[in-house]
Amino acid sequence: MRAMVLDNPARPLQLRDVPKPKPGRGQLLVRVSTCAVCRTDLHVVDGELPNPKLPLILGHQIVGRVEEIGEEANSKFAIGDRVGIPWLGWTDGECVYCRSNRENLCERARFTGYTIDGGYAEFAVADSRFCFHLPDNYNDTDVAPLLCAGLIGYRSYRKTGDAHRVGIYGFGNAAHLISQVALYQGRELFVFTRPGDKAGQEAAKKSGAKWAGGSDEMPPEKLDAAIIFASVGPLVPAALRALAKGGIIVCGGIHMSDIPSFPYDDLWGERAITSVANLTRRDGEEFLQIVPRIPVRTEVETFPLEEANTALNRFRSGELHRTAVLVVSSA
Ligand SMILES: [Zn+2]
Ligand SMILES: [Zn+2]
């Protein structure tokens, strides 16, 4: 099968003909239709995440159809079913985190497109227990970004509890998706872009933000919560200063540059800072039930599988204004 393979970080992916994987016990063999590109893919390619499997097939927002079912695979999938494969690929089910409904923190978790092969290829195998059915009213291209930007965004958003005034730093894919959920639930949105990014601020206002400005500005009201999707550490103390007492900052990225020190006074008043790691299957099931009701709209730009490097490079340089989706096969 054709696959885009990462041999070493900091090198472009190589188009290769590699053996088609076989579904093991509990696994599905999935013919990949589309795979969305995530910022985490960039972090892996750029060597910012430790110890990836090498060589590696990237990609953890995979949409495809079940081609073969391994022994003892979860019976909720049949041959030909459409299936979504997310970032969380496997957990041990027995560590202290798994046993307390926090499988996202599993000590031995494996991740699609990072420590196990992902979807920048014609086929992928996945543990059937971690795969999702996808809402019918989305096509294979539009549904793909929901599988990570949407899911991790949703987990970040849930951590804000019932915050009414929600700030979002970095109005990228995850922010775009989750802001639709927040507005649907009657929250007020305050969006922070790169200083001077007037186009980004206009776009945020158009999609319903009460206020949009640069990350160096203060919002007109104090926030009950702020989600930081940009991987920029100095945004944390900046967001703290915009926070009301009792507010929470949620860092939604898997990687962030160092956070500069700040006065304790800025944290005082029961302000909190947390991060979001991975996802649980429950997050996925909940989110995929909510999205068709709103409905959450994704904005995508498609690339053929062979042009994965182009998609990654344009993402890195900030030239992408929609989510890149690799189209692998047209089912
Ligand atoms: Zn575990
Ligand atoms: Zn991702």
pLDDT at site 149? 86
CA distance 62 to 123: 10
pLDDT at site 330? 66
Percent of the chain whose pLDDT exceeds 70 = 99
pLDDT at site 254? 82
pLDDT at site 79? 97
Is residue 166 within 8 A of residue 224, CB to CB? The reply is yes
In Å, how far are 70, 80, 123, 149 from 67, measured between CA atoms?
Answer: 10, 6, 9, 26
Which ligand places an atom closest to the C-alpha of 254?
A: 2
pLDDT at 308 over 60: yes
pLDDT one-digit tens code per residue, 262-285:
999 999 999 999 999 999 999 999
What rounded mean pLDDT belongs to the chain? 95
Token readout for 282 is 């429950």
Question: If you ran DSSP here, which 8-state letter would residue 251 be given?
Answer: E
Place of tokens 């890195």: 316
Which ligand places an atom closest to the C-alpha of 95?
A: 1
pLDDT at 329 over 90: no
pLDDT at site 75? 83
| 3-state DSSP assignment of residue 232 | coil
Is residue 21 within 8 A of residue 118, CB to CB? The reply is no
List of residues 6+ apart from 139 with CB closer than 8 A = none
- Find the angle CA(306)-CA(67)-CA(94) to the nearest 5 degrees: 95
CA atoms within 13 Å, Cβ hemisphere of 240: 21
pLDDT one-digit tens code per residue, 141-155:
999 999 998 898 999
89 Cα to the center of ligand 1, angstroms: 12
Q: Work out the number of other CB atoms within 10 angstroms of the CB of residue 84.
A: 24
pLDDT at 291 over 70: yes
pLDDT one-digit tens code per residue, 156-215:
999 999 999 999 999 888 899 999 999 999 999 999 999 999 999 999 999 999 999 999
pLDDT at site 13? 98
Handedness of CA 104, 323, 123, 75 (dihedral sign): positive
Question: If you ran DSSP here, which 8-state letter would residue 141 be given?
Answer: H
263 Cα to the center of ligand 2, angstroms: 33
Percent of the chain whose pLDDT exceeds 90 = 92
Q: Which run of H or E residues covers position 40?
A: helix 39-45
Is residue 89 within 8 A of residue 116, CB to CB? The reply is yes
Cα 163 to the center of its chain, rounded Å: 22
48 Cα to the center of ligand 2, angstroms: 14
C-alpha torsion angle, residues 296, 57, 317, 205 (rounded to 10): 10
Which ligand places an atom closest to the C-alpha of 153?
A: 2
CA distance 259 to 70: 45
pLDDT one-digit tens code per residue, 45-101:
999 999 999 999 999 999 999 999 999 988 899 999 999 999 999 999 999 999 999
pLDDT one-digit tens code per residue, 11-35:
999 999 999 999 999 999 999 999 9
In Å, how far are 22, 184, 206, 225 from 213, measured between CA atoms?
Answer: 50, 22, 13, 16
DSSP β-ladder status, 188-193 and 62-69? unpaired
pLDDT one-digit tens code per residue, 38-50:
999 999 999 999 9
List of residues 6+ apart from 186 with CB closer than 8 A = none
pLDDT at 331 over 70: no
Identity at 323, one-letter amino acid code: T
Which ligand places an atom closest to the C-alpha of 152?
A: 2
pLDDT one-digit tens code per residue, 102-111:
999 999 999 9
84 Cα to the center of ligand 2, angstroms: 13
